[in-house]
Amino acid sequence: MRIRPLLVKEFVWSKRNVLALLVLLVAIPAVFAGASVGFQTVIPTDMPVGVVGADAGVTDDDLTIVEGAVTFFSDPVRYGSKTAAMDALRREQVYAVLEVPPNVGTQSDGRLDFTLYVDGSLVPFRETSKVITTNVNSRLSSSLPMDVQVSRTVVEPTHSLPEYLIPLLLFGVVALFAFTFVPYNLASERTALDRIRTESSLEALVMAKLVFFTALMVVPLAIFRLATGHFGYDIAVLSPGAIAALLLSFLLMATVAMAIMFLTRFSTSGRFVNVILLFGLFAFGGLIYPVGFFSSIRRAIARLIPVHYGMIVARSAMLKDVPPGLFAEWLGGLAVLVALAGIGLELTIVVYRRRSA
C-alpha cells in the first residue's frame, strides 16, 4: 500500500479548496461554540412579560409601579386589554401575562391578588414559570406596603415534552428536505437544463419542483399524524394553521435553497451553503426553545428569521386551541416573503442564464 502519494494528493486538494475547509473547520466551529453562550441563561432575566390591568379601575400609575417591580427579572410589555395580552401569550411574544388588580398605587394595607398567566403548551417554560411566579411575588411584596398574593394560572392545554417536540421534529424534517434534498435534486438534473430551456423554461422547471415537493410534504405530515395517534398524543398535527405554516415555511426555504443553487451554478459550494443555512436555522432560529430563553441578541436574530414565526404558528396550531385569525398576519407575511423569494429566485435564474451564455 502506497499511502504517501495519496496523502500528498489530499494535501494538494486541500490547498485548492482551502476556503471551504476554513469555513468548515474554523468558521462554523467558532460560530457554534459562540452560539452556546446563548444557552447560558437558563432562567431568563429579560424575558418578555405582558402587564395588563384586571379591569377598567386599574390606572397607568398602578401598571407603572408593577412594571418597575418586575423589571428586575423581565422585560415588561404593557397591553391595553386582557384579550391583546393573552393573544400575545399565545403568539409567544410574551411568556407570561401579569394581571394587575386596581389600587396598587393607592392602597396601603389589606391584600392585593395578582394573577400570572402562563401557557401550558410551552413545556420548557413550565418549571421556569413557577420560579418566575415566586420572583414576582417576592419583588411585589418587597415593593408594595400591602400583602401581595401572586397566583399562577396555566392557560391552554398542558402537554408532555414528547408532544411539545412533535411540531419541532416535523419542522425539522421539512427544513431538512428543503435545504438538502431539493438542492440535490436540482443539481442532479443540471445535465438536462439546456434541453429544458429549449423545450420549456427554467421557470417552469422550478415551479413544477416547488409544486411537487410542497405536495410531498403531506407525506411527513401524515406520518406524524399516524405516529401521534398511535402514541395517543393530544396534538392536532393536521390543523389548518399548522399545515399552512409548514407548507409556507417549506416553500420559502425551498425557494431560497434553489436560488442558492442557481447562483452557485449547482456547484458543491451551493449545497454546502444550504447545509450551513440549515444548521444556522436550528442554531439561531429559536425553533427548539422559546426564544425568550436566550440573550437579547439571539432573540433579535431569531425574530429576524421568517421561519421562526412559521415554527411558532405550527407549534401553536398543533398544541393549542387558537382562534383562526390569530396568526393570519404572520401567515400573510410568510406568503409575501414566499412571493419575494420567488422574485429573488427569478433574478438568480436570469443571472444563471447570463453566466451560462
Partner 1 sequence: MTDDRPDRAEKTNSTHSDGESPLAVEDLRQEYGPITALDGVSMAVRPGKIHCLAGPNGSGKTTLFRTLLGLTTPTDGRVRRPETTVGVGFQRPVYYPDLTVEENLDVFGRLMDSPGGQWRDHVTSVFGLERVGHRRAGALSGGFRKKLDLALAVLKRPRFLLLDEPLSDLDDVTQERLLEFLSEYAKAGNAILVSSHRIEDFASVLDRLIVLEAGQVVLDRSREYLDEQDTSMTGIYADLVGSP
- CA–CA separation, 181 and 32 (whole Å): 24
Minimum distance, C-beta of residue 128 to partner 1, in the bound complex (Å): 49
Beta strands 47-53 and 111-119: pairing type? unpaired
By rule CB under 8 A, what string of x and - marks binding of each residue 254-293 to partner 1? ----------------------------------------
Stretch that binds partner 1, among 55-63, 190-198, 267-275, 314-322 (CB under 8 A): 190-198
* Of the candidates 241, 238, 213, the residue with the CA atom closest to the CA atom of residue 224: 238
Give kind and range of the element (H or E) at residue 268.
Answer: helix 268-284
- CA–CA separation, 107 and 84 (whole Å): 27
Say whether residue 200 binds partner 1 (CB under 8 A).
yes
| Smaller CB separation from partner 1, 205 or 245 | 205
Phi-psi region of 103 (alpha: psi -120 to 50; beta: other; left: phi over 0): left
Grid cell 392545554 — which residue?
Answer: 157
Stretch that binds partner 1, among 66-74, 198-206, 262-270, 318-326 (CB under 8 A): 198-206
Q: Residue 330 burial by CB count (10 A; 0-12/13-18/19+): exposed, middle or buried?
A: buried
Say whether residue 197 binds partner 1 (CB under 8 A).
yes
**From the list 61, 113, 147, 189, which residue makes contact with partner 1 (rule: CB under 8 A)?**
189
What are the backbone angles phi and psi of residue 74, rounded to the nearest 5°?
-155, 175
**From the list 2, 16, 195, 230, which residue makes contact with partner 1 (rule: CB under 8 A)?**
195
**From the list 110, 199, 230, 325, which residue makes contact with partner 1 (rule: CB under 8 A)?**
199
List C-alpha distances in Å: 106 to 64, 79, 142, 147, 148: 13, 21, 16, 13, 14
**From the list 7, 192, 207, 336, which residue makes contact with partner 1 (rule: CB under 8 A)?**
192
322 near 316, Cβ under 8 Å? yes
| Smaller CB separation from partner 1, 106 or 198 | 198
**From the list 65, 193, 276, 326, which residue makes contact with partner 1 (rule: CB under 8 A)?**
193
| Smaller CB separation from partner 1, 72 or 212 | 212
Size of the residue set binding partner 1 (CB under 8 A): 15
Minimum distance, C-beta of residue 194 to partner 1, in the bound complex (Å): 5
Say whether residue 194 binds partner 1 (CB under 8 A).
yes
Q: Which residues pair with 148 in a beta bridge?
A: 112
**From the list 14, 188, 267, 268, which residue makes contact with partner 1 (rule: CB under 8 A)?**
188
Binding positions for partner 1, rule: CB under 8 A: 188-189, 191-200, 354, 356-357
